[in-house]
A and B are shown apart, each in its own frame.
Chain A
Amino acid sequence: MLEVPGRVRPYLRRAYSVADADREAGEVELLVKTIGVGTAALEDLAEGSSVHLLGPLGNGFGIEDLPIGARVAVVAGGIGAAPFPLLLRALQKRTIAGDFFFGGRGERDLALLNRFDGRVPGDTFLSTDDGSAGEKGRVTDLFRRRASAGRYARLYACGPMPMLAALAPIAADLRLPSQFSTEAEMGCGFGACLGCVIPGVEKPFIVSCTEGPILPSEKVKW
């Protein structure tokens, strides 16, 4: 009896945010944390293996409407930092300052920190729930203490949905326009299966893959 390792899982594709991309080199960078069968399958791939990529799909963070010299806040929870290298680089290119708030449960959740070394066009603030790195506490509280009304022109955030839900009322209090990268399990990624909906304020459901995944926090029913 001989078993050739094969897979019936993962079956569906998995959605990842683009961490950074180089158009000339034809390179796309993904930052991935192994949490389930899809990410484990990626981890198991040997260097140089081929994968099938369908994308880019959905929308991205918008910065074009920000005035030169503006200051924005970028809040990340754990692997939620994944989409921010490209955003921070784009902000820097437009001479827009960006403060980076990065939190996790413990130091291990901040493993991506070295990816941001010298690449934040502003200040970096760290927090962990257990105090093993940065300030002890939640990144949402850290942001609330540092942010004051009018300090930032926009809030960009990505992390677990409970973190985004905690951040939404803070942004509302500060009258701070926001772009949150929402998370939902996706079946197809192009609006066919309607599996990835998020409860909305103006309508019952927002289709995350085609209308998002970046959404203004006030459009989402948290």
Chain B
Amino acid sequence: MVKGADGGTGRLGDGEKESAVNPPSPRPPVSPSATESPLSVQLGPLRLKNPILTASGTFGYGLEFTDWVDLARLGGLCTKGLSLRPHAGNAPPRICETPAGMLNAIGLQNIGVEAFLSEKLPRLRSMGATVIANVWGDVEEDYVAIVKTLEGAQGLAAVELNISCPNVEKGGMLFGNSPSATASLVSRVRGATGFPLIVKLSPNAPNLVESARSARAAGADVLSLVNTFVGMSIDPETARPRLSFGTGGLSGPAIKPLAVRMVYQVARALPDTPLMGIGGISQLSDVLEFLAAGATAVQIGTANFVEPGVSQRLVEELGVYCARRGAPVATLVGRAHRCGLPAGEAGAEG
């Protein structure tokens, strides 16, 4: 089979001006250690070689991408969401394209945590990949059991809790939509794992900042935001939803401004919490925008489907950008917060 149509870079005229990626006047480095790579970042206990990661659910188990990406070059990769046992996922149709993005209701199909540990992780480790295990469950006990299974695994850098998948009947987003459920789950998992703990937040939560605060207070080292937005597409002729699940998660460039706003808001409310920004990133200017909003690192999602080598390309482009600018990437984080916007400019919380 051959794939046609256009791919590559700069394919979406999203209004980014070329000047957005031109280096502003150099600033003094924040951490002027000469021995450190200018791209390395520190997120709480998690040190990454660069701030470009790939998002769970859009990068398989990493091994699907080795024709296009040297996994060792990435800041990290987040695995497909792992459950205690293999999970079949939802009936098709599972995806449909929407303007500047797509809806998905895959339903967390995955091989299960045991198969991941025996079949995938050793190969990822041998390739030098920085692996973050994304995990999910129906109930708190599932999450605890999974992280206990992962505990001490060689080649694992961190665990990311998915409390925000909109495409399963139980668990998933239900944990993320209630600050108290978030707090309860995160504190139990925190007690069960020694790995750096990332909590992936739902943009569908009634109050994202409160969810973020709960997750952080309960022991999350890092917050990643955002997962997909619940959306729907209906065939105008048949009047049937295009996805068998009815609703799905919206991703792609369409959600970027929403995600940037949320990262900005959470960064403002929780300035000492390391954040990973996610949502519609496909170009260097998108990366810089999320860093400016307050993310210390970013995850590339749906763009991996369109341009499978996009993550490595962005690592390279960010390296060139930082070299030209003469300052480490850490100095790019949170710059938008120094613009002196009134608090109200970030929009009302929730």
Using CB atoms and an 8 Å cutoff, list the residues of chain A in contact with chain B: 6-18, 28, 30, 32, 37-38, 41-42, 51-58, 184-185, 187-199, 204-205, 209, 213
Contact = CB atoms under 8 A, between A and B. Distances in A.
Interface string B125-140: 0000000000000000
B3 A199 contact: no
Interface string B66-106: 01000000000000000000001101111111111110101
Interface in B324-349: none
Given A184-B92, A192-B58, A193-B305, A9 B102 contact: no
B277 interface: no
A16 B89 contact: no
B1 interface: yes
B3 A57 contact: yes
B91 A199 contact: yes
B51 interface: no
Nearest to B91: A199
A34 to B, nearest CB: 13
Given A195-B94, A205-B109, A11 B6 contact: no
B100 A11 contact: yes
B29 interface: no
Interface residues of B, number: 43
Given A8-B12, A193-B106, A53 B306 contact: no
A17 B1 CA distance: 5
B239 interface: no
B65 A198 contact: no
Given A13-B3, A15-B1, A52-B7, A192 B102 contact: no
A188 B59 CA distance: 10
24 contacts: A7-B12, A8-B99, A8-B253, A13-B305, A14-B3, A15-B3, A18-B2, A51-B5, A52-B7, A54-B7, A55-B2, A57-B3, A184-B93, A185-B95, A187-B104, A187-B305, A188-B304, A190-B64, A192-B304, A193-B58, A194-B106, A196-B95, A205-B89, A209-B1
B304 A54 contact: no
Given A52-B8, A188-B305, A11 B2 contact: no
B24 interface: no
Contacts of A198: 92
Interface of B: 1-8, 11-14, 57-60, 64-65, 67, 88-89, 91-102, 104, 106, 109, 252-254, 304-306, 308
Nearest to B100: A8
Given A11-B102, A54-B308, A192-B305, A28 B92 contact: no
B309 to A, nearest CB: 10
Contacts of A213: 1
B92 A199 contact: yes
A157 to B, nearest CB: 16
A220 B30 CA distance: 58
Contact residues of B: prevailing secondary structure: loop
Contacts of B253: 8, 11
Contacts of A14: 3-5
A57 B5 contact: no
Given A192-B59, A197-B109, A10 B13 contact: no
A81 to B, nearest CB: 16
Given A12-B306, A52-B6, 7 more contacts: A13-B3, A18-B1, A53-B3, A193-B57, A193-B95, A193-B104, A196-B94
Contacts of A7: 11-13
A37 B97 contact: yes
A193 B64 CA distance: 10
Contact of A197 (B1, B6, B89): B89
A89 B266 CA distance: 61
